Chains A and B, each alone.
Chain A
């Protein structure tokens, strides 16, 4: 065999080896430095810009409170985004505070977040102001609350701001925040 033929044969076999080896382990191509160089830069991956979003300026509002005008001595209910997920019961206005019970009907799991927003009205049905009852489950410290089956029933009480004392004749409530586990 001449030197030229030997070199050609070895070259061909080496080329075949490289090709077959590349095919055999091809799926792990991220080990290839060229592929690694094309990996996304982790610092630029997370999507934290939200174009066009106006940042929140405060706690949630319910537009229905402005027009509710419940009759004196009554507690009205205004629409919110989650009205198909709960029932309200035992609503009452007493000594300038509105109270009641909210029964979550959509799910059987822990209530994580709940806010009941209340509007207070004078005898003419004019909205005096609002108050809120907020429930937040601190999951990191919730061991004691996790005994037994999850709670579906939450009681609430919202006291009218003191500056309206003696003027509150009626109230209305709605639920702008509700999250279940």
Chain B
């Protein structure tokens, strides 16, 4: 018996149904990855959290310190995980792929901030300009232009590289203010001759922040960079100014709690904010009145989201991770990591409730070659005779030895160096910390503590850094990316860039 041929209508309906179901399948897979509410994948807000100097080991060490080997930081609970390359370029360099491209493998915070803020590689010390000195717009400026609300939170001076990378354009990041100086602001290697002081690129960063209105909510440190004229300029734009740049009265946690309105400017220390360890150990001090990065983040989100239908872009920096890593101070570094992770918790909790918020957690660079070493072991720098490759006859290990016997190799290093205390092995750490995995009797600093930490240097390294993400679109971060890619990812998520 001949089966009847399916009608054209039925075939068309089948094809269309298949397309529909296929689309639903794609959507539902994306939803599962991104943990977004079904059918509500549109991104309204981006919260970009940056642990300055936070390498992969900083994350691992903080996890083990506070939650044990089997625990996890909040940032580690975010579903999308990737890694970010961070290199900078030399002054005058072209962008990657150009004939005059000249990389610099170790970035500073300014070049890194420009990479994710503006999507270009630039030289160390440059903010909001490319490596040839051309002004490049930032993602926060794009957001502002598009009518989104914007916020910038940092535990550093708000004129420091990471926050400044979003709301200023400067040839040199040292041009922070309150006043101009030629050495701090001009970069004739890039411009050939000194620029007129009317040029934004040599205008102190504090003067720019106080007048360009790029961020609606500005919370952090660095009151010394601002003066009475800046306060007048801020008020003229409608900012509620907490404390007073004119009188150099710092804002307090109470001021922050009471703050309201669309535009808020609050600086809680004349310099960088105080480390958490000091505040914890000196609860009655003036510094203990400074809000934590989590408190500032919570308030910023509240200010930016209230009555806001268009969405917002908020950048949050845990700056003191880097600054304490420069000092090779593991105890304070770990507490700053914990404090930063609490800010991540605030952002994630908001995003979970909101459903339209992409949370990105990453770093600008690794700082100090932080590492976890085996209990009872030590680093090469501590060793009287660092291990050398002297077994070149072995086919499993036959590269040319680069280091002979003895502690020093004049070609590759000057041997044991660590400033004035180079002769004292104790200066190299390791610092030891107890963890929840240790018996109660084990104390910090004892050989029995299970977390042994050491540093390679007092400066930045060129290691890739982790990125964690949550929310719609977060799967785009589950990849190996470059720091300049973050500009495009955020820009497209907020429909700001093509």
Contacts and interface: CB of A to CB of B under 8 A. Distances in A.
Given A45-B142, A55-B197, A139-B108, A26 B42 contact: yes
A16 B211 CA distance: 50
Instruction: List the 10 closest pairs (A to B, CB-CB), nearest first.
Output: A56-B180, A108-B327, A24-B27, A45-B137, A60-B179, A27-B41, A47-B212, A113-B174, A149-B458, A46-B137
21 contacts: A6-B9, A13-B12, A13-B16, A21-B19, A26-B42, A27-B43, A30-B497, A39-B497, A42-B137, A46-B136, A46-B137, A47-B212, A50-B208, A51-B211, A82-B224, A82-B271, A106-B272, A112-B173, A136-B174, A149-B328, A181-B108
A42 B212 CA distance: 17
A113 B138 contact: no
A73 to B, nearest CB: 30
B483 interface: no
B211 A52 contact: yes
B23 A25 contact: yes
A37 to B, nearest CB: 10
Interface in A1-15: 1, 6, 9-10, 13-14
Interface stretch (A92-100, A119-127, A140-148, A156-164): A140-148
Contacts of B394: none
A29 B179 contact: no
B257 interface: no
Contact of A59 (B7, B181, B270): B181
Nearest to A142: B124
A134 B211 CA distance: 28
B41 A26 contact: yes
Interface in A43-91: 44-53, 55-57, 59-60, 81-82, 84-85
Of A21, A44, A81, A137, most B-chain CB atoms within 10 Å: A81
Contacts of A42: 137, 497
B417 A147 contact: yes
B271 A84 contact: yes
Contacts of B207: 50, 53
A29 B44 CA distance: 12
Contacts of B457: 148
Interface in B163-201: 167, 169, 173-174, 176, 178-184, 189, 196-198, 200
A51 B207 CA distance: 10
A53 B203 contact: yes
A136 B184 contact: yes
Given A10-B12, A48-B169, A21 B137 contact: no
Given A25-B27, A29-B495, A55-B203, 14 more contacts: A10-B9, A10-B12, A13-B12, A16-B16, A23-B39, A30-B497, A40-B142, A42-B137, A47-B214, A50-B208, A108-B326, A112-B174, A139-B124, A179-B176
A66 to B, nearest CB: 16
Interface hub of A21, A52, A85, A109 (most chain B Cβ within 10 A): A109
Contacts of B6: none
A28 B24 CA distance: 15
Contacts of A24: 23-24, 26-27
B352 to A, nearest CB: 17
A151 B169 CA distance: 27
B219 interface: no
Contacts of B417: 147-148
B163 to A, nearest CB: 14
Contact of A176 (B90, B181, B196, B498): B181
Interface of B: 7, 9, 12-13, 16-17, 19-20, 23-24, 26-27, 39, 41-43, 90-91, 104, 108-109, 123-125, 128, 135-138, 141-142, 144-146, 167, 169, 173-174, 176, 178-184, 189, 196-198, 200, 203-204, 207-208, 211-214, 224-225, 233, 236, 270-272, 323, 326-329, 414, 417-419, 422, 457-459, 472-473, 492, 495-498
Given A50-B200, A50-B211, A56 B179 contact: yes
Given A20-B23, A21-B20, A27-B41, A53 B9 contact: no
A53 B422 CA distance: 49
Contacts of A134: 181, 183
A177 interface: yes
A85 B419 CA distance: 22
A27 B473 contact: yes
Contacts of A53: 203, 207, 211, 233
Interface residues of A, number: 66
A154 interface: no
Nearest to A117: B181
Contacts of A84: 270-271
A60 B19 contact: no
Nearest to A56: B180
B179 A40 contact: no
B183 A46 contact: no
Given A47-B214, A55-B198, A150-B326, A177 B233 contact: no
A179 B225 CA distance: 10
Nearest to B146: A40
B459 A60 contact: no
Contact of B123 (A6, A21, A52, A140): A140
Contacts of B418: 148-149
A165 B457 CA distance: 46
A81 to B, nearest CB: 5
Contacts of A85: 224, 271
Given A13-B17, A60-B181, A106-B272, A149 B419 contact: yes
A140 B90 contact: yes
A84 B413 CA distance: 37
Given A30-B492, A46-B135, A179-B176, A109 B323 contact: yes
Contacts of A109: 323, 326-327
A44 B270 CA distance: 34
A78 B196 CA distance: 30
A77 to B, nearest CB: 17
A143 to B, nearest CB: 9
A53 B7 CA distance: 75
